[in-house]
């Protein structure tokens, strides 16, 4: 007869979970031992925040909810940052935290806060586990976490339940998966009428389409109809940057140039467009919107919604692909010229070593099927537009949540899930400080992750915004004095300096060939960011 801890570990394994991330407390020990004997590897992290981020990436890349764990109070609050990322970046995740036993709820007990209240706004569902509700709770948690839109579920583990004896029949080996309803015929008919009437429609493709793996369907639809495409940053890879219809990325550097295409549109077709990345009204021209997604549009009333198709997105796209649409009045040569202009503007000539040059070398050295994770900062605005990728799940960022410190944990999660792929993280010197302790995690696990640190001595994105508000840089510049890395190792991880493109290439080649993690310290001129990051999105 299994204990509750054993049944939980066995059920998670049966449901496809292979990793759990976190930092244990005393009550965690029975669960960790049960995971060890059930085939789930518990990955000890340096910070619970990182545990949530690693679980997020496992959920994104596998479709199976990632699992993370934290202990009472401060463990739970630290974990919350990673869990919030899974909510707004739409990743299936189960977050377990140790909670006080039922008799102590509401009492003044060391480390005790209300975890249920803490996680309610950060998750799709939060509950407490018990022997009596075990089967129902775990199956429901998986159903909710994976249902559209996917996201995190929090389960509190009262400190006194791990040893409860459960009936083996309580094991969970499957769960009900939500099936989206087919799109309404009248909505499809209205969408078809709008596409038939339009002369210059533009496709705005977002996170939902990328999550659902609709890139092949979308590529066929675009090729058949020659409709220009703009992407949200998390949808990169849906179509290649070399595609004749590729017009660029919204919101990131150079998007003011991308606007030269979509401002000519007489209809915006939001396809799998999740406004959590960038609200429609923040960029759309004053033209009708056709919103096609699993969820209704979230938009202010002053933006016209001409049509809305919700439900099974693949089915909606299949219907649209069957239509005989008119030849649209787009000049693909003009779109190609805009595309070239965007890329040229982001790599301006310079006597200094710029972030653009560093990223260009990384793109050249990293294998085409490699994975890059991007931390938050000025460099991400550049990376989001400049990085060329021709398949989904090879460009991993946080944009709905947008927390600094994401890049290194994300790279570790990606390498665990895709061990055969080369994985590189791009972070700034500010973002690196937030979760650099996870390099010890990568070192301990022997993960060949390359961490590129763009060292410019500043929180450059905030400094750019300060300048635009006509205030002097304050508490953002002069992040450190002297060298950022004053030795050839950091936490036992080799540090390879790069001060020009040639050094960058040599450092990357060495780092990518290493058996374990390596750091490439690229000393760059951050003053160029002000001119590279778009000043206007309209």
Mean pLDDT, rounded, of the chain: 94
DSSP of 196-221: HH-SSEEEEE-HHHHHTT-HHHHHHH
CATH superfamily of 4-170: Thiamin diphosphate (ThDP)-binding fold, Pyr/PP domains (3.40.50.970)
Q: What is the pLDDT of residue 535?
A: 53
From the candidate CATH numbers 3.30.1700.10, 3.40.250.10, 3.40.1210.10, 3.40.50.1220, the one assigned to the domain spanning 185-338: 3.40.50.1220
DSSP state of 401: S
In order of 143, 378, 493, the CA distances from 440 in angstroms are: 34, 26, 8
pLDDT, tens only, 70-104: 999 999 999 999 999 999 999 999 999 999 888 87
pLDDT, tens only, 284-315: 999 999 999 999 999 886 667 999 999 999 99
- Which residue's entry shows tokens 């996680």? 119
Per cent of the chain over pLDDT 70 is 99
The answer regarding whether domain 347-532 maps to CATH 3.40.50.970 reads yes
Domains 185-338 and 347-532 share a fold: yes
Pull the structure tokens for residue 349: 């000539």
The structural domains of the chain, with segments of one domain joined by +, span: 4-170, 185-338, 347-532
Using CA atoms, how far apart are residues 192 and 181, in angstroms rounded to an integer? Answer: 19
* Residue 157 · residue 26 · CB < 8 Å: no
* Residue 503 · residue 357 · CB < 8 Å: no
* Residue 141 · residue 176 · CB < 8 Å: no
pTM check: above 0.85? yes
pLDDT, tens only, 175-227: 999 999 999 999 999 999 999 999 999 999 999 999 999 999 999 999 999 89
pLDDT, tens only, 415-444: 999 999 999 999 999 999 999 999 999 999
Whether 536 shows a pLDDT value over 50: the answer reads no
Confidence of residue 538 (pLDDT cuts 50, 70, 90): very low
Whether 267 shows a pLDDT value over 60: the answer reads yes
The predicted model gives 468-478 an average pLDDT of: 84
Q: What is the pLDDT of residue 103?
A: 80
The 3 state secondary structure assigned to 381-428 is HHHHHHCCCCCCCCEEECCCCCCCCCHHHHHHHHHHHCCCCCEEEEEE
pLDDT, tens only, 17-67: 999 999 999 999 999 999 999 999 999 999 999 999 999 999 999 999 999
Pull the structure tokens for residue 89: 């970046």
Give me the numbers of helices (H) and strands (E) for the chain, helices first please.
20, 19
**What's phi and psi for 418, nearest 5 deg?**
-130, 65
**What's phi and psi for 82, nearest 5 deg?**
-65, -35
Q: What is the pLDDT of residue 537?
A: 42
Closest CA to 235 of 190, 278, 297, 192: 278
Q: What is the pLDDT of residue 534?
A: 57
Q: What is the pLDDT of residue 468?
A: 81
């Amino acid at each position: 007869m299994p204990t509750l801890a054993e049944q939980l570990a066995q059920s998670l394994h049966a449901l496809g979970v292979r990793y759990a991330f976190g930092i244990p407390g005393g009550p965690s020990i029975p669960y960790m031992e049960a995971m060890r004997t059930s085939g789930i590897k518990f990955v000890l992290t340096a910070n619970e925040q990182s545990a949530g981020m690693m679980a997020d990436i496992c959920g994104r890349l596998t479709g199976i909810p990632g699992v993370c764990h934290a202990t009472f109070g401060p463990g739970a609050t630290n974990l919350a940052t990673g869990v919030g990322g899974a909510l707004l970046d739409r990743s299936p995740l189960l977050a377990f935290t140790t909670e006080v036993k039922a008799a102590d709820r509401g009492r003044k007990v060391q480390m005790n806060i209300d975890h249920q209240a803490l996680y309610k706004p950060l998750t799709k569902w939060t509950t407490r586990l018990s022997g009596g509700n075990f089967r129902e709770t775990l199956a429901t948690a998986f159903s909710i976490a994976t249902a559209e839109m996917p996201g995190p579920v929090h389960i509190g583990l009262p400190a006194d339940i791990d040893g409860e004896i459960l009936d083996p029949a309580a094991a969970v080996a499957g769960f009900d998966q939500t099936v989206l309803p087919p799109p309404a015929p009248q909505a499809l008919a209205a969408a078809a009428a709008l596409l038939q009437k339009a002369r210059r429609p533009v496709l705005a493709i977002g996170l939902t389409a990328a999550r659902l793996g609709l890139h092949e369907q979308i590529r066929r639809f675009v090729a058949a109809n020659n409709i220009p495409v703009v992407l949200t940053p998390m949808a990169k890879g849906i179509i290649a940057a070399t595609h004749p219809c590729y017009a660029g990325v919204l919101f990131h550097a150079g998007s003011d140039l991308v606007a030269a295409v979509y401002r000519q549109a007489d209809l915006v077709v939001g396809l799998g467009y999740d406004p959590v990345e960038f609200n429609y009204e923040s960029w759309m021209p004053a033209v009708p919107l056709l919103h096609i997604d699993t969820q209704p549009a979230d938009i202010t009333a002053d933006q016209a919604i001409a049509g809305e198709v919700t439900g099974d997105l693949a089915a909606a796209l299949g219907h649209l692909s069957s239509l005989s649409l008119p030849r649209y009045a787009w000049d693909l040569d003009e779109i190609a010229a805009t595309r070239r202009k965007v890329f040229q503007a982001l790599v301006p000539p310079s006597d200094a070593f710029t972030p653009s040059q560093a990223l260009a070398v990384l793109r050249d050295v990293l294998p085409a099927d490699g994975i890059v994770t991007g931390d938050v900062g000025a460099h991400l605005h550049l990376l989001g537009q400049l990085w060329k990728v021709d398949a989904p799940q090879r460009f991993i960022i946080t944009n709905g949540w947008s927390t600094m410190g994401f890049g290194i944990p994300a790279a570790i999660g990606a390498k665990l899930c895709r061990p055969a792929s080369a994985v590189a993280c791009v972070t700034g010197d500010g973002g690196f400080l937030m979760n650099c302790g996870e390099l010890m995690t990568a070192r301990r696990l022997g993960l060949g992750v390359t961490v590129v640190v763009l060292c410019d001595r500043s929180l450059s994105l905030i400094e750019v915004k300060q300048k635009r508000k006509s205030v002097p840089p304050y508490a953002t510049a002069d992040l450190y004095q002297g060298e950022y890395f004053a030795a050839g190792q950091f936490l036992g991880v080799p540090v390879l300096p790069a001060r020009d493109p040639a050094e960058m290439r040599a450092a990357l080649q060495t780092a990518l060939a290493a058996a374990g993690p390596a750091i490439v310290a690229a000393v760059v001129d951050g003053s160029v960011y002000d001119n590279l990051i778009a000043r206007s999105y309209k």
